[in-house]
Structure 1
Amino acid sequence: MGDNPLRSPIDRFTNAFVSFIEAPVIWFREKVVEPNRPTTYWYHQKFRRVPTIDECYTDDIVCYTEANLQYKRDRMVESEIVNILRQRYEDCILYESPNIEKCRPLHEQYLKESENWFIKYGDLGAYGDVKAAFMKQKHRMVWERRHGPVGTGMRENAAQG
């Protein structure tokens, strides 16, 4: 009894015949088909970053449309991030209950991300576009320049004049 697992002549013949038939097919697939096949993305497709709305000319419709599509993709991604963080926090509460002190870092991270999401996308509605978000950002920057950070109240001298 040797190390050869194919003991009988019929096994050796069958193996040789199968190799004779399969070898050209495998070679053709590896050398011709796979190198010439385009890469197909089934998920996590990466889009190139396009110019933002502040980099577009006022009459450039194509740039505005691309910026709007980029904005909507970014909004969907950031909404999913906030949803995942909320789900992680809820799972932690469910798993660690009644001692929820272990979930505090998750809760703080969720609150910070949801605050950032609201700063950027909140109060725009379902049909908010990139132009409305840009105007919201501009108005927030003007407010912070005049009155300080949002939520700290108005300055005394700004309220009078």
Structure 2
Amino acid sequence: MPEAKPRNIVESFFTSVGNILESPVIWVREKIVEPNQKQYPWYHQKFRRVPTIDQCYEDDIVCQFEADAQYRRDKQVDSEVLTILRERFEDCALYEAPDHLEKCTPLLKQYEDATTNWFIKYGDLGAYHNAKTAFMKQKHRMVWERRHGPVGCGMQGKVAE
């Protein structure tokens, strides 16, 4: 839309002063700031995936540190997902007050499944754990399931070797 012509000399003066002050700011923004901004289609920074702890050599401290950092980020994301699922169920239960057991059952099941998966991955590791202890927990669980069947179904006796 073209700008309207100034009606008098005072308006013309203030328009020209405004243009003098505004044009360098616009030039810096368009030519320097916007081309150098990181463009994310989401609101949080996306980190590149690093090798997991089982892909690191024993003496590669940097790889192990990156794997631990990735593990901590993954745990934080999984915990936030649990929080969101729990809040969704609680909101549904409040909104559907008398019939919430019937109407919010899919949300409760989704939350319980996510909680079970979170506990399988992160539960019973203690306060000071890292990617290596979580990986060892996963390894021990796989050995148990190979010998005795899925965890929680009871021991099925000795497996023929």
Tell me which interval the TM-score lies in, with the shorter structure as reference length: 0.7 to 0.9
Q: 1:10 to 1:93 in 2, by over 3 A?
A: same
Give the alignment's TM-score, normalised by structure 1. 0.84
Pairwise CA distance, 1:107 = 0.3
Mapping 1:8-47, distance limit 5 Å: 8-36=8-36, 39=38, 44-47=44-47
Q: In 2, Cα distance between the equivalents of 1:33 and 1:98?
A: 55
What are structure 1's unaligned runs of at least 5 residues?
Answer: none
Stretch moving more, 80-89 or 16-25? 16-25
Once the two structures are superposed, residues 102-124 of structure 1 have per-residue CA deviations (whole angstroms, 9 ceiling, x without a partner) of 21111010000000000101100
- 2:125 alignment partner in structure 1: 124
Pairwise CA distance, 1:97 = 0.9
Structure 2 residue 71 is the aligned partner of structure 1 residue 66: no
Q: 1:33 to 1:63 in 2, by over 3 A?
A: closer
Pairwise CA distance, 1:55 = 0.6
Pairwise CA distance, 1:40 = 9.6
8 Å CA contact 2:82, 2:114 repeated in 1: yes
Once the two structures are superposed, residues 17-47 of structure 1 have per-residue CA deviations (whole angstroms, 9 ceiling, x without a partner) of 32234223322332234434x5499x62222
8 Å CA contact 2:85, 2:107 repeated in 1: yes
RMSD: 2.6
Instruction: State the aligned residue count.
Output: 156
Aligned-residue identity in percent: 61
SS in 2 for 1:19: helix
8 Å CA contact 2:148, 2:158 repeated in 1: no
Stretch moving more, 8-17 or 88-97? 8-17
- 1:77 alignment partner in structure 2: 77
Once the two structures are superposed, residues 126-159 of structure 1 have per-residue CA deviations (whole angstroms, 9 ceiling, x without a partner) of 212111111111111111111111111111344x
Give the alignment's TM-score, normalised by structure 2. 0.84
What are structure 2's unaligned runs of at least 5 residues?
Answer: none
Mapping 1:40-119, distance limit 5 Å: 44-100=44-100, 101-119=102-120
